[in-house]
Structure 1
């Protein structure tokens, strides 16, 4: 009930809730002042006992008024300690009680000439600070009327000097002057505070928007100290450098060490700020990255701002331009190539039917048939690249999808042979967002390659599929492991380049096309290096809540 009443009072305040809270705080301070004054008035009754009634008109009334004033202030103080939220009417009533009790004490003592009249000015001033409106003017008017009333009564009834009326008039002028001056100051301060609050709110909203934009950026942003410690990092930087996603910013990852390649680049840049460091990989499964450094504080140089760019995007764009040109060229001449290619293949088939072929001729025909098929495959792959459609992403339960894919893949194998596919899955795998048809095309390519190389090495069509979550538990991944001879270390960085192949019958576009399809779905295809036999390719899906 107290909270609701406070909220309603704040809503009615002309300067908003913050001004109301400021008003309550000032009233608490003013009540401390009232309590001290009332204690002093009561204490003076004991410190300076009165042996004569000549100083007071009605000593008993004065003592009763001082004690009552102390009791009222003590009660209000206890209520404030009990977390009472005073409303506007409580503040108004307190100011009115102060003005009336002080004039009552003046009347019971020596009149308007008593020093207590100065305390009335404080009460009027406090009233205008706490309530800078027409009510504040009413406080001044009430105090002036009471002062003139006491002085007029003293002159007419007990024959006091007429100078008291002049003094009362002077006090009335002070009351009104204090009211007008303090009202103006209070209103100006409240308007300034309201303006400052509004601007602070706007700045906070702008900061929140900027924070959201920075967190959603695909460019990694780091703030480092001069020792290379991470002070701030956005989500993209966490993902690119550390393989984790922190959507709330970098507060949890302060003082984290940089990856070794980036730390060496920072040391080289500190020695030569004009130097541009070479692209690097934060980990074997991360994409190729480019870092740019700049001083965040040009004067002190304490902090360094780092922009982390995913170079695979730039490389992808260059390769897309190259393949787009190649695709247009291939589309233009595909018909011209396929016609003679078809004639060559058909002629080879006719020659195979001849009964007069020796073994050498048969070998030549086999070479013609295989290379005709290879040329046709190259044309088909390049055409697929040039007319690739945009991804149609949907949220997918990766475990269920991979189980279904494994069953379909077993049933639709071209050679009809039985494949051994071991499916391993973690208990908790986050969902992913991707185009099923495109990622299935990637999986078919990886599985076909894995089965082929496993059979070459072990004589068995055997692969292993593993689905799990990254270290931060935010993203899913799928591993395709074969048991073949593996890839030579000098070729590991070239396996995703177009037209690179170690198989004489391959086109060199399968893995490139697979990575292109993964990139179109904001996933990353990488070759994982470990001590196990064969190759392990990993598809790391993007965070489903951060996809753009």
Structure 2
């Protein structure tokens, strides 16, 4: 069995490598500048008489050659770093080892362990423990101590110098180790602090990304605006509610729509008054806005929360219809049995030759209303049994062409005058994601209504289907235009309410069910305002990239 070990390297306090590569590179660049400065100082001192410095040279020629070689090495490394060379850890380690060895060679070639160069070795050891605060740092201190003792011992045995130099070398060794241990402790603390700061910074960035994702995916619209209604920020839901159906998405220097701007002005005059619900466009849903200042004390920015009232209304209606559906399902057979008996009895009476013309009209009323009651029961049962959308990506023009052909064939089989449906397709129609069977049910209902009303008004069953895209080019749309009498202004608000109908033979659930099916597929069904006769219903689909 394989065991998975959790990766805790991002947690502060866990063991890590001595230093991140970028940090080591920055520190090494600073240290190399120090080496170049020291090399230049030592090279400059070559032009000073050693007698004036009271520092007699043991091996002056070797000392001069070592100083110049050390200067040349540091200059070459500096040029490589200036050209963008990124040293690895092994390059840094090698440079520190060379520093310690070269300094001790210069120390041996000059006046020995008493020379001031011994103090520079402490700096090299300290730099090594800062750049690599690990066992390698202790190795630098040990190497420096051994080299110092070797230089002092060589001077005592070969040159007859004072034995006290060995004690001085030992004291320097203690300083090396002390510097190594202290700096390692300080460096580790600093690294832990930096790691904790980096971890918290990454956590803050991640939280900001999470918050942004949450805000963008919220179904509540959130807008940040100034006192004059100029929009600074808006999440996806606000873009869709305010501009999604009008094609203004993505433009800068936008202002709130007029209806919402009036609500903002009214709120600024009286913050305690709740703004009235409004509608941005005729094709957009009713919205409820609430305003609050981003900073209560000193901020000109205003936070606007936008709720889609159609969602709340739909939820209430769904609860009502769900209860009605359960009630209808429980009494359907109780109602249908006597209803069927009434309808059958009326049909038998109508076939009798003894029924007068007035009684025949009465029987027609009984049969017509029996069918209407049965249709109401069927529609309510359909609402209560409605399934979730099984969405797929659809090439809308091709699919609509196939739907129109099949629909006309089906209407032709029913008899009567053939339906005339004109299909108009715009170029560059984006793909749409929806459940084909559900949207087909919506189109069938709208086409049936449109053909019926066109026939009543013009004597010919005809309508026009247009498929295109919104102005922003991201959403596909379908317009269903009929040539009937149209809908009065007083009834436009109520056409999508359940059980509302102007047709005595209708159930009042067709358009409501059509809008519900569209909402299930994240589409929007609206009645457009137009100057031409008839009605034009528009289905606006969600962007194809959004999953249902």
TM range (shorter): 0.7 to 0.9
Q: CA deviation at 1:455?
A: 2.4
Identify if the C-alpha distance between structure 1 residues 480 and 251 changes in structure 2 by more than 3 Å, giving closer, same or farther. closer
Provide the C-alpha distance between the structure 2 equivalents of 1:245 and 1:145, rounded to a whole number of angstroms: 81
Q: Could you say what secondary structure the match of 2:239 adopts?
A: helix
User: Is the Cα contact below 8 Å between 1:238 and 1:244 reproduced in 2?
Assistant: no
Q: Tell me if 1:308 matches 2:309.
A: no
User: Is the Cα contact below 8 Å between 2:19 and 2:131 reproduced in 1?
Assistant: no
Structure 1 stretch 363-372 or stretch 379-388: which is displaced more? Answer: 363-372
Q: CA deviation at 1:47?
A: 6.7
Q: Deviations over 1:299-351 (max 9, x none)?
A: 54454433322211211121122223333444455445445544554455455
Q: CA deviation at 1:494?
A: 1.1
For structure 1, which runs of at least 5 residues remain unmatched after alignment?
1-12
User: Is the Cα contact below 8 Å between 1:454 and 1:462 reproduced in 2?
Assistant: yes
Q: Tell me if 1:127 matches 2:128.
A: yes
How many residues align? The count is: 533
Q: Deviations over 1:199-257 (max 9, x none)?
A: 433443344334333333322233334543333332222212210799xxx99666532
Partner of 2:439: 439
Q: Tell me if 1:261 matches 2:279.
A: no
What is the TM-score normalised by the length of structure 2?
A: 0.87
Partner of 2:279: 281
Partner of 1:9: none
Q: CA deviation at 1:138?
A: 1.8
Partner of 1:470: 470
Structure 1 stretch 67-76 or stretch 158-167: which is displaced more? Answer: 158-167
Provide the C-alpha distance between the structure 2 equivalents of 1:329 and 1:71, rounded to a whole number of angstroms: 96
Q: Deviations over 1:390-444 (max 9, x none)?
A: 3333332222221111111101124442111111223323332322222211111
Provide the C-alpha distance between the structure 2 equivalents of 1:17 and 1:402, rounded to a whole number of angstroms: 66
Partner of 1:81: 82
Runs of 4+ in structure 1 over 6 Å off: 47-54
Identify if the C-alpha distance between structure 1 residues 334 and 88 changes in structure 2 by more than 3 Å, giving closer, same or farther. closer
For structure 2, which runs of at least 5 residues remain unmatched after alignment?
1-13
Provide the C-alpha distance between the structure 1 equivalents of 2:278 and 2:19, rounded to a whole number of angstroms: 52
Partner of 2:101: 100
What is the TM-score normalised by the length of structure 1?
A: 0.87
Structure 1 stretch 51-60 or stretch 506-515: which is displaced more? Answer: 51-60
Partner of 2:490: 490
Provide the C-alpha distance between the structure 2 equivalents of 1:387 and 1:157, rounded to a whole number of angstroms: 106
Provide the C-alpha distance between the structure 1 equivalents of 2:65 and 2:527, rounded to a whole number of angstroms: 93
User: Is the Cα contact below 8 Å between 1:243 and 1:471 reproduced in 2?
Assistant: no
Partner of 1:376: 374
User: Is the Cα contact below 8 Å between 2:421 and 2:462 reproduced in 1?
Assistant: yes
Provide the C-alpha distance between the structure 1 equivalents of 2:41 and 2:531, rounded to a whole number of angstroms: 87
Q: Tell me if 1:527 matches 2:515.
A: no
Provide the C-alpha distance between the structure 1 equivalents of 2:36 and 2:92, rounded to a whole number of angstroms: 15
Partner of residue 326 from structure 1, selected from 309, 313, 324: 324
Cα RMSD for the two superposed structures = 3.1
